[in-house]
Amino acid sequence: MDPLEFGTSTLPLQHAPYDAISASTLAGTNKCKVAVVTGAARGIGSAIAISLAKSGADVAILDLSADALQETKGKCEREGVKVGVYACDVADEQGVIETFDKIERELGPIGVLVNNAGILDQRPYLMSTFPGFWRQIEVNFKGPLITIHTVLPRFRERGGGCIINIASRSGTVDVPMTLGYVTSKAALIRATHTLQKEMELDKLDPAIHIYALHPGGVFTDMGGTGAKQDVLDKYGDVRDEKSFMALFKDPPELCGQTCAFLASGRGKDLRGLYLDCRQDVTKLLEKGRDALLKERLNTLTVNFLEGYANEP
């Protein structure tokens, strides 16, 4: 894969938290909110939970194992907030409902949901088992839809709330050997756009604001471990390509602080859009919501041959 195939930025990208999203700027902005973060045991999910805690939110951290969440729990508690630890498979609807009910009993009404849990099996579709492929769809797409379906009626009843779906640039491009991942992330981005439109229909916009967020190039256990040996034997290791490894230069805190910013409501004009946390939110906000929507920017779309569109 040649990263240059997808274009290069002429504006500088952010590779660390900057002033608009810094912990000092956002201190206290999410106080009295309860934020749920899935896949919070390590990496990006852990950083998101810690950033939300730094901004004053009480946090409910979820992962498959409660034991795996203890390090994140300790770091969040150092910020002086309440922290709840919950073992939960986001693809299990009844388990999600029961977990969210428990969170609200123990911490209070949920005000922020960050769908971060995800998995990747890096292998060609022809070398995949179908259950292995489909499990990625279950976790990466079905899981967020379950959590959203569980929390939206509560947001509607309370008159507001924030949902952040951790998406990926992979959902906007063609990346061989990641069919389950790119498909599920593309679906999640499209769902974000559509759900915000539905909030408009029900006059819940902008009180309920929803975002799809690319977390940047973070060298996580999921993205950095590479393919299994059978795939390596046949296709080699993409991590040997300098252009591939150069993509991973961002700390998870960049995504974490962007989530804290969006949860605070300061970026509401970007609701319903697909965002890249490396792009300065102040530049996007300066462009203005009307212009972004009119020009179909930050939206998953397709370009046709000039002259072809819809019927007049």
Provide the 3-class DSSP secondary structure of residue 295: coil
Question: For residue 138, what are the CA distances in angstroms to 50, 117, 128, 225?
Answer: 26, 11, 15, 21
Task: Name residue, tokens 């604001």.
Answer: 209
Task: Report which of 268, 274, 272 is spatially closest to residue 300, judged by C-alpha positions.
Answer: 274
Q: How many residues does the chain have?
A: 312
Query: What is the rounded radius of gyration, in angstroms, for the C-alpha atoms of the chain?
Result: 19
Q: Which residue has the tokens 């949901």?
A: 113
CA distances from 197 to 120, 194, 202, 203, 211 (A): 29, 5, 9, 10, 12
Active-site positions read 181
